[in-house]
Structures are given as structure tokens and as C-alpha cells.
């Protein structure tokens, strides 16, 4: 897989949630450099609402763990913690600022529609993808510019599932240890 650091200028790419997460967890200088390239207009970056929703959740969970409000990423633990806080000031605020800062770098958001949810059965069946990944590939395949279909053929991710899709170039940060 091509190294993210070698992504050519002007490339239009879909960006998976894990790239943002590695940046915020200070786990990948190449992901941080990539996000700076987006902010400077060197790369045209696309996401969908699934990526943004996942990112918001990961940022909230990470802040809750960092502040020792919860001990794990278990969503039930965070939900229980938040429920206990009702009527009090919520100490979790940084995640929202981080999220809004990412949106402000100039991401282009591709929609997830009712039709897309149905139509991406093709991607799920053909490539054996989980729902979220099929929505990513589906929004990439169905991107339109001025009502004309112009699919995205590049994705920035650390998810190996995309490597098996013909015609798709997967750009990976090479500074993330293999799992």
C-alpha cells in the first residue's frame, strides 16, 4: 500500500475515521501532517456523515477516559456516567472543540441517504464489508459533481479491508504499528 506521506498534491481522497483518531491520540505524525495538507488545500478530502459520527463518538470516549470519568471505551460505561451527571455541568467539552476544528479544515461531506443505505448492499455482498465500510465505499462510488457521477478512487485509512477492492488505491500511514 502506498505511504500516506507520498500522496500527490491535488488528489481527491476519502478519509476514514481512524486517520483522525490517530491524529488526536498523537499516534501518527503522518496523519497529523496529512490533516495539515487538507487545511492548506493541498489535498481535497471527503468524508461522509458516518465518519463524522464515529469521530465524534471516539473523541468523546477518549476524553472521558483521559479525564478518568470512565475506565474503558465501553459505550454503556460512558452512557451510565453521563446519565449520572444529568442536572450538573458536563466536564466533557474538549471533544466538541476538536470535532469542530476538524470540520473547519475544509472537509467535503458526502451524504448518506435512504437510497444509499439500500444500494450499498452491492458493496457489502461483493466485497464482504461491514456496514460502515460499505457506506464509505458506497459514498465514494456514487460521488457526484454537477449531477455527474465521479467516483473517488483513493482512500486514506488504516483498515486492511479496503486493500482487497480492485481499482481502489489505499493510502496508509506507515508510522502505525501493525496489529
pLDDT at 73 exceeding the cut of 80: no
C-alpha pair distances (Å), 34 with each of 8, 55, 136: 11, 17, 19
The tens digit of pLDDT for each residue in 32-43 reads: 999 999 999 999
Is the pTM higher than 0.85? The answer reads yes
Cα gap 158→148, rounded to integer Å:
29
C-alpha pair distances (Å), 76 with each of 50, 59, 60, 71, 87: 20, 16, 13, 11, 19
More confident residue, 58 or 91: 58
pLDDT at 78: 87
Mean pLDDT for the stretch of residues 124-143? 96
**Band of residue 175 on the pLDDT scale cut at 50, 70, 90:** very high
| Full DSSP string of 39-90 | HTTSSEEEEEHHHHHHHHHHHHHHHHHHTTS-SSS-HHHHHHHHHHHTTS--
Residue-range domains of the chain with CATH: 10-63+91-171 (3.40.50.1010)
**Band of residue 179 on the pLDDT scale cut at 50, 70, 90:** low
Amino acid at each position: 500500500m502506498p505511504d500516506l506521506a507520498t500522496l500527490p498534491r491535488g488528489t481527491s481522497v476519502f478519509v476514514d475515521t481512524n486517520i483522525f483518531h490517530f491524529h488526536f491520540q498523537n499516534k501518527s505524525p503522518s496523519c497529523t501532517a496529512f490533516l495539515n495538507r487538507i487545511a492548506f488545500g493541498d489535498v481535497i478530502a471527503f468524508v461522509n456523515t458516518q465518519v463524522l459520527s464515529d469521530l465524534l463518538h471516539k473523541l468523546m470516549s477518549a476524553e472521558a477516559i483521559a479525564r478518568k470519568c470512565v475506565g474503558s471505551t465501553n459505550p454503556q460505561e460512558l452512557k451510565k456516567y453521563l446519565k449520572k451527571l444529568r442536572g450538573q455541568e458536563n466536564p466533557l467539552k474538549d471533544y466538541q472543540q476538536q470535532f469542530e476544528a476538524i470540520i473547519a479544515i475544509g472537509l467535503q461531506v458526502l451524504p448518506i441517504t435512504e437510497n444509499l443505505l439500500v444500494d450499498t448492499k452491492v458493496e457489502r455482498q461483493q466485497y464482504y464489508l461491514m456496514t460502515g465500510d460499505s457506506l464509505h465505499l458506497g459514498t465514494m462510488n456514487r460521488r457526484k459533481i454537477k449531477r455527474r457521477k465521479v467516483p473517488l478512487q483513493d482512500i486514506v485509512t488504516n483498515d486492511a479491508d479496503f486493500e482487497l477492492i480492485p481499482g481502489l488505491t489505499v493510502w496508509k500511514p506507515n508510522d502505525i504499528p501493525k496489529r
